[in-house]
Structure 1
Amino acid sequence: MRAVVFQGPEEPMTVEDVDRPECDDDGIVVETEACGVCRSDWHAWKGDWDWLGLMMTPGLIFGHEPCGTVVEVGEEVESIREGDRVTAPFNMSDGTCRHCMSGRANICERSVPMGFLDFQPGAYAEEFPVRVADQNAITVPDGLDPVDIAGLGCRFATAFHGVAHRVDVEPGDTVAVHGCGGVGLSAIMTANALGGRVIAVDLDDRSLEMAEQVGAEETINATEVKDVPQTVKSFTPSSRGVEVSVDALGITETCRNSVNSLCKGGQHLQIGMTTADEGGEVPLPVDMMVQDEREFYGSYGMPPHEYDEIFSMMESGAIDPGQIVNETISLDEVPEKVASMDEFDTVGIPVCNEF
C-alpha cells in the first residue's frame, strides 16, 4: 500500500509502497477515507518533543486524525464489524488503568500515540490499524462526512474536551482564544456553542475572519495593539478580564497573554504544545495567579465516551467541524503541506481524502 514515510527531522517525507498493517487479535484494520493534516505532525517532523520522551525515528507513518471503513477485524473484537465506518482518538488507551476506569482514558497510563511510534502507524496511508479496538474504535453515525470526522481529529477533540469538560464555560461568560489555527477555531466554535462570548486573538486577519465565521464576537490583531491582555480586558465588563482564556498556540507570548487576560478566579486552558524555542517550559506570573486564584488547566485529546456528545451536537447543528476544514488534498501533497506549516500561515484544517 502507499503511505507517507518520515525520513528524519526536517528531511522531506516521501510517499512509498509499504506493507499493509497486520491485524492484532484485539485490533482492526481500516481503509482510510480521510485524515487531517495536523500541526502535531509538523512538531514531530521538526524533531520537537524530545523533552516528552518522544523520539521520532525514520520509517514512521504519521497521521492521527483518521476516518475510514473497517476491512479486517481481530478474533477477540466484539463491538466492531467489517464495513463499519470508524474513527479513533490519537492517544489510544488500553481501557484497564485507573484513569481509563474513571472516565479519563485520554490520559491512560499506557497511552499509545497514533502515528508517532513504529508499532502504531498512522493514517497517512491507504490503511491503518487500531489497537484494542473495543476501546479505541469509535463508530461514526450514518450521514456524517468522513472529511468532517477527520476535521474532528486531535484539534477539535482536544479543544472540545478542554472547553466543554476541563474548564467551566457558562452562558454569558467571556472567553478569550489566543491563536486561531485549527485548534483555536475549534475552541471558538465549542465555546460559542456553550453560550460563551468569544474574543479571538491572532496575527493574521484571514484567521480572524474565520474566527468570526465560527462564533467569535470580537477579534484582536495582536500586531496592532500594544498590550494584548489589556485589549482583551477592554471587551469585558469593567475591564475585569475574561472568565476563561485559551492558549491554542503554545509559545511563551500566547501562554502569558492568556494567563494575564483572566479575571480574578479565571481559568486558563492550555491546548497548544510548545516548540523547541520553549522546550516544554514557559515562565508564568505565579504570584499574580496565586493572589487572584487563577487556575491553569491542560487538555490532551479526548476520552472515547465524549465522541457521542460531539456526534449529537453535530447532528443537531450546534457545532460544525467541517466548517473549519479549509481544503482537501491528496496523499502525495501531504509532505509539502506538513513542511509548509513552518510559515504558520495555514488557515483552518487541511484534510487528506485522496489515497
Structure 2
Amino acid sequence: MEGKMKAIIKHHRGYGAELQMVDIPQISPDEVLIKVNATSICGTDVHIYTWDDWAASRVQPPYVFGHEFSGEVVELGRNVDSVNVGDRVSAETHIVCGTCKQCLEGKYHICQNTQIIGVDRNGCFAEYVALPAKNLWRNSQETSDNMASVQEPMGNALQTVFASDVAAKDVAIIGCGPIGLMAVGIAKAAGARQVIAIDLNDYRLDLAEKMGATTILHAGNTDPIAEVYARTHDNGVDVACEMSGAPIAVKQALQMTTNGGDVNILSLPTQDVPVNFTDDVVFKGLKIQGITGRKIFETWQRVSGLLASGQVDLTPMMTHELPLEDFDKGFELMVQGQCGKVVLRP
C-alpha cells in the first residue's frame, strides 16, 4: 500500500512527541500490514515521552513509538498464509530471534536478541503498522477494539501474578498504574484470599477497589508495611507484585513479604535500589523473580480466556478514549496519574 499516514513520532531526545504525516510502511514477504483501530498508552511509552534515563539509554529518535494495539489485516506479504486480509488482530510485541539459547529452549519471552515494537523499531501509534505474521494474535469478534488493544499489557500483569501460586494467598499489588490495576483483577479472579493494593494516588486506589482489591493502602498516609502485617496476622503477604518502579516501594515489597514468600518485579526502576539482602532476602528465604513480556503464546491464551469468560472485567480501568491527535492530553493524564488506561483511536 502506498501513501501517507498520521503517526506519533518521538522526534527528538527530549520531552514530548509530534504528530506527523509519514509514509505508510512497506511490508516484507513475511510481514503483514495492519490498519490500527485502537492503540493504548503504556508506562513504557510514558518513559519514552518524558525521556527519562531508561529511554535515553535505549531508544533512537526519530521513529514511531507505541506497542499496544488492535486492528485489521489489510495486506499480506507473499510468504504469509497464517492470517487473512480482514482478520482482526493484536500482536505479541517481542520479535524474537528463534536461535539463541533461550529461544531454543522455548523461552521466547526472554530471547537474548528481542526487538520490541515501538522501542527498537517503528510501532503502532499510527494509522498503519507492519509486523511479522508470526507475531499476530487473532481477536475474537466478541472482543471490542479497545479491549483487544490492552491484551498485551494484561499479559504482563498475568505473567507477574501467575509467576506464583496465588490461590487462597495474601497478595500485595504495589503500584496501581494500568498494569497494576489489571493485576488486581487477575489476582482476585485467581482466588487470592486478600488483594492489598498500594499506591500514593487516591484516584488510582479508587480504581483498584473497583477492580476487586479487598484493601487499599495510601503509602503516603500510612505505613504500608505495618498495615500489611496487621492485616495478615503478623505474617506478611505470601506474594508481592511490584509494579511501581519506586526504589522505596521495591524495598518495602521485600519487607512486607512473609518468610519464604515470593516477590515478582515487573517495574523498571530508573535508579539503583538499596536492598538489605541479609535481613530482607537471605534470612527470609525470599524468591525474587524479574518479569518481562509474556510467554508466547501461552499467556495470550490465558488473557483471552479470562476476558471471554468475564472473570476479569477491565471496564472500570478503561477510563479515557481520545483521538490520535489528542495524544498529548493522554500522556499528560498518564504523567499526572489521573487515568486508568488511555486508548487512542486513529
Report the TM-score, using the length of structure 2 for normalisation.
0.93
Assess if the C-alpha contact under 8 Å between 1:30 and 1:69 holds in 2: yes
Determine if the alignment matches structure 1 residue 219 to structure 2 residue 212.
no
Runs of 4+ with deviation above 4 angstroms:
49-53
Assess if the C-alpha contact under 8 Å between 1:70 and 1:81 holds in 2: yes
Letter in 2 for 1:247: E
The whole-number CA distance in structure 2 between the counterparts of 1:199 and 1:40 is 24
1:321 is matched with 314
The whole-number CA distance in structure 1 between the counterparts of 2:47 and 2:81 is 36
State the shift of 1:54 in Å.
0.9
Match of 1:268 among 232, 249, 263: 263
Letter in 2 for 1:40: T
The whole-number CA distance in structure 2 between the counterparts of 1:346 and 1:317 is 26
The whole-number CA distance in structure 2 between the counterparts of 1:212 and 1:287 is 35
1:77 is matched with 80
Letter in 2 for 1:158: N
**3-state DSSP class of the match of 1:25?**
coil
Q: Give matches, 1:103-252, under 5 Å.
A: 103-117=106-120, 120-131=121-132, 133-134=133-134, 136-154=135-153, 156-164=154-162, 166-169=163-166, 171-196=167-192, 197-225=194-222, 227-236=223-232, 238-252=233-247
Structure 1 residues 247 and 50, CA, compared in 2 at 3 Å: closer, same or farther?
closer
Letter in 1 for 2:6: R
Determine if the alignment matches structure 1 residue 15 to structure 2 residue 16.
no
2:324 is matched with 331
The whole-number CA distance in structure 2 between the counterparts of 1:271 and 1:262 is 16
Structure 1 residues 314 and 341, CA, compared in 2 at 3 Å: closer, same or farther?
closer
State the shift of 1:292 in Å.
1.0
Structure 1: unaligned runs, 5 residues or longer: none
Structure 1 residues 336 and 10, CA, compared in 2 at 3 Å: closer, same or farther?
farther
Percent identical residues = 26
- RCO higher in structure (CA 8 A, sep ≥6): 1
State the shift of 1:341 in Å.
3.4
Structure 1 residues 72 and 94, CA, compared in 2 at 3 Å: closer, same or farther?
farther
Assess if the C-alpha contact under 8 Å between 2:13 and 2:56 holds in 1: no
1:43 is matched with 47
**3-state DSSP class of the match of 1:303?**
coil
The whole-number CA distance in structure 2 between the counterparts of 1:108 and 1:150 is 24
2:341 is matched with 349
RMSD of aligned Cα (Å)? 1.8
Structure 2: unaligned runs, 5 residues or longer: none
**3-state DSSP class of the match of 1:297?**
strand
Q: Give matches, 1:288-307, under 5 Å.
A: 288=279, 289-305=281-297, 306-307=299-300
Determine if the alignment matches structure 1 residue 283 to structure 2 residue 283.
no
**3-state DSSP class of the match of 1:153?**
helix
**3-state DSSP class of the match of 2:207?**
helix
**3-state DSSP class of the match of 1:267?**
strand
Assess if the C-alpha contact under 8 Å between 1:97 and 1:108 holds in 2: yes
